[in-house]
Amino acid sequence: MKSWARATFIVMLGVIPLLSGPYFTLRAQETLSRRLFDGQSLTGWEGDKTVFHVEAGAIYGGSVTGLASSEYLCTTRAYGDFDLSLEARLEGPRDVANGGVLFRSARKPGSSLVAGYQADMGFVPGDVLSSIANGIPVDTTGEHPLWGVLLDEFRDESFRYPGDIRARLLSAPDRTAILAALDQTGWNRVIITAAGPRITVTLNGLLTATFVEEQPVPAAGLICLQAHSGGPSRAAYRNILIRTDQSPRQP
């Protein structure tokens, strides 16, 4: 083998592990995804700019005086099937701080509400979560993390909600597993995958929700970030990436 060929072969042996290892997987994911948030502005998003703003490369939603009603910052385009990855954290008292990512969703005319699926964030008394569980087993003792929980909220279809509350639990992870995976004071990576009727949610690498839709609800819609009603608190979101095989379209 000629010297130049031998040198090339040796170099390629060193490159092959990189192409097949975690580094390549991460870089490929970043290459195939595009940013929904540029880290500097709210371009591509719509909502109340007195509630949502950009700070230190993240979108913050909330108020130092609290919010009378939940507010949502939504994409200006709709998405159907996708992989959505972001980092989120909550600031404020544990019993107040709350946020979430809504998807395949739509704004409710005449109100600040958004209807659709939600990957929730925060904590809530177990009996409150049980009240919308619709048969899903939930430990009602003490508080239950909302992180990793998949909900459905505020749709017009009455068949969607068996009770008077316009919310329904679709999947609830094990409380112990969530607490072990959650960084309660730092950033947490949330990944939402919507592929046809199948939806999954992962939190810091832990699969927390799996749901297969069987009812005739919209399969595309807005992606929205929530600032929850209640006392002084903030929800923060950053590094928001989406990968989709479909071109975004107007809602």
**What residue type is assigned to position 93 of the chain?**
P
**What residue type is assigned to position 115 of the chain?**
A
Residue 170 structure tokens: 């679709």
What is the average pLDDT value for the chain, to the nearest integer?
Answer: 85
Determine the pLDDT at residue 82: 96
Determine the pLDDT at residue 27: 40
Confidence tier at 190 by pLDDT (50, 70, 90)? very high
Residue 151 structure tokens: 């909900």
Instruction: Give the residue, 6 or 234, on which the prediction is more confident.
Output: 234
pLDDT digits 0-9 by tens, 173-185: 889 999 999 999 9
> What length does the chain have?
251
For residue 46, the surrounding DSSP H or E stretch is strand 45-46
Q: Residue 205: CA atoms inside 13 Å, Cβ hemisphere, count? A: 3
The answer on pLDDT for 2 being more than 70 is: no
pLDDT digits 0-9 by tens, 50-98: 999 999 999 999 998 999 999 999 999 999 999 999 999 999 998 899 9
Residue 71, classed as helix, strand or coil, is strand
Determine the Cα–Cα distance for residues 237 and 66; give it in Å rounded to an integer: 18
The answer on pLDDT for 123 being more than 70 is: yes
**Beta-strand pair 206-212/71-75:** unpaired
pLDDT digits 0-9 by tens, 151-162: 999 998 877 887
* For range 197-213, the mean pLDDT: 97
Confidence tier at 11 by pLDDT (50, 70, 90)? very low
pLDDT digits 0-9 by tens, 211-239: 999 999 999 999 999 999 999 999 999 99
Determine the pLDDT at residue 16: 35
**Which ranges in the chain belong to alpha helices (H)?**
3-20, 22-32, 126-130, 175-181
Superfamily of domain covering 35-243: Exo-inulinase; domain 1 (2.60.120.560)
* Burial of 135: CB neighbours in 10 Å, binned 0-12, 13-18, 19+: exposed
Domain with CATH 2.60.120.560 in the chain: 35-243
Confidence tier at 127 by pLDDT (50, 70, 90)? confident
